[in-house]
């Protein structure tokens, strides 16, 4: 009997010459997560968590897109721990995230912007992960159809059988994964395990996140953009004022772009370059953005794309948080602009009286 012939097919798949303009081998979020889990020894449980977050993102995206028709605009009449008025979508997105993470069976501790206290999941064994998240960042803009997003970071307990509250109160550099989901004209998830930044766009035709950005980096020639709420400019410290003044004094002045939704502003900053800033000021002396579940994940992702994130004097990811809802100033973006800002923090005194006695750093070479 003659031996049967077989065609050898590689793991990279096949693509017919007739369909070079069509993606016949899409890398879905699920496929990417499973491949990455195989590379991370002892971290296979992470794939369950990330797939649960992917499902939660689809549910939240659907709610955001249908908010007006389903009566999900408006307040619920409560204020969260960080002092923000809770919108209906805030509460819904929070419930969706919590339930998705509980359903993964791999998460023991959760910290959410919408909950005053951290949450410990009862009845899970060998759940070594702690997840911190802002379920719906920028929700104050939802009524006017401005883009909003979900931000998350994940910690892993390497020694004990189950993660504890302390595992959620670590420097951002200890995260094993982080990401955000942008709900806009398309739904995009940006994700990193610490091996580069990857983006996935939700294909509405078959309801899957498909890879659209592979090992994304800041542009080699970043645009000259600064993103900050200039309405607070009179309240800023002198280094921040001096830096923004410097951006306007260049031969080609920087453009100002500010949406007021951190996920949207940071997403643009990564794709185009420039700098996003939310400095401390006289009104919010410790900054306004939350360190654990806003600053840490975004700083993690920006660094994975080749950028820099600082509070002006320290690397954001090196800060040891003391409280679950601790705030921090943050400046993040391409190295060119963030490093220039740090020069001002190193040379310009914080108070106006002393600043007048010091000269400004020179223009960008």
| Catalytic residue positions, numbered | 84, 90, 113-114, 134, 136-137, 294
Phi, psi at 139, each rounded to 5°: -65, -15
Say what the alpha-carbon torsion angle 189, 82, 280, 326 is, to the nearest 10 degrees. Answer: -80
Class of residue 206 by CB neighbours under 10 A (exposed 0-12, middle 13-18, buried 19+) = exposed
- Rounded CA Rg of the chain: 22
Provide the pairing of β-strand 330-333 with 308-310. Answer: antiparallel
Chain-centre distance of CA 225, in angstroms?
A: 19
Residue 332 · residue 276 · CB < 8 Å: yes
Distances (CA, A) of 23 to 53, 209, 212, 234: 25, 14, 11, 51
Taking alpha carbons only, the member of 298, 293, 316, 324 closest to residue 132 is 293
Distances (CA, A) of 217 to 125, 191, 195, 308: 38, 13, 12, 12
């Amino acid at each position: 009997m003659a031996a049967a012939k077989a065609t050898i097919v590689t793991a990279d798949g096949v693509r017919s010459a007739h369909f070079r303009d069509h993606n016949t081998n899409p890398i879905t979020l699920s496929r990417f997560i499973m491949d990455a889990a195989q590379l991370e020894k002892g971290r296979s449980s992470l794939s369950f968590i990330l797939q649960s977050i992917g499902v939660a993102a689809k549910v939240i995206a659907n709610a955001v897109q249908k908010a007006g028709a389903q009566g999900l605009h408006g307040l619920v009449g409560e204020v969260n721990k960080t002092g923000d008025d809770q919108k209906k979508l805030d509460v819904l997105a929070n419930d969706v995230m919590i339930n998705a993470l509980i359903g993964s069976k791999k998460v023991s501790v959760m910290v959410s912007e919408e909950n005053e206290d951290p949450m410990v999941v009862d009845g899970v064994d060998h759940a070594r992960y702690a997840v911190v998240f802002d379920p719906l960042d920028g929700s104050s803009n939802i009524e006017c159809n401005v883009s909003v997003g979900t931000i998350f970071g994940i910690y892993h307990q390497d020694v004990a059988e189950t993660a504890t509250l302390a595992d959620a109160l670590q420097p951002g550099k200890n995260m094993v994964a982080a990401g955000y989901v942008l709900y806009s004209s398309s739904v995009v998830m940006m994700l990193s395990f610490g091996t580069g930044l990857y983006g996935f766009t939700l294909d509405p035709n078959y309801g899957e996140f498909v890879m659209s950005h592979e090992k994304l980096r800041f542009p080699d020639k970043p645009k000259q953009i600064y993103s900050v709420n200039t309405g607070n400019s009179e309240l800023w410290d002198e280094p921040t004022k001096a830096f923004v003044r410097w951006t306007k004094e260049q031969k080609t002045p920087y453009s100002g772009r500010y949406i007021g939704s951190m996920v949207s502003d940071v997403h643009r900053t990564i794709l185009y370059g420039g700098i996003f800033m939310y400095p401390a000021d006289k009104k919010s002396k410790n900054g306004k953005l939350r360190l654990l579940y806003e600053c840490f994940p975004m700083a993690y992702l920006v660094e994975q794309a080749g950028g820099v994130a600082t509070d002006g004097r320290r690397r954001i990811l090196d800060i040891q948080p003391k409280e679950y809802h601790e705030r921090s100033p943050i400046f993040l973006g391409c190295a060119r602009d963030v490093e220039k800002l740090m020069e001002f923090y190193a040379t310009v005194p914080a108070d106006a009286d002393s600043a007048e006695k010091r000269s400004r750093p020179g223009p960008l070479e």
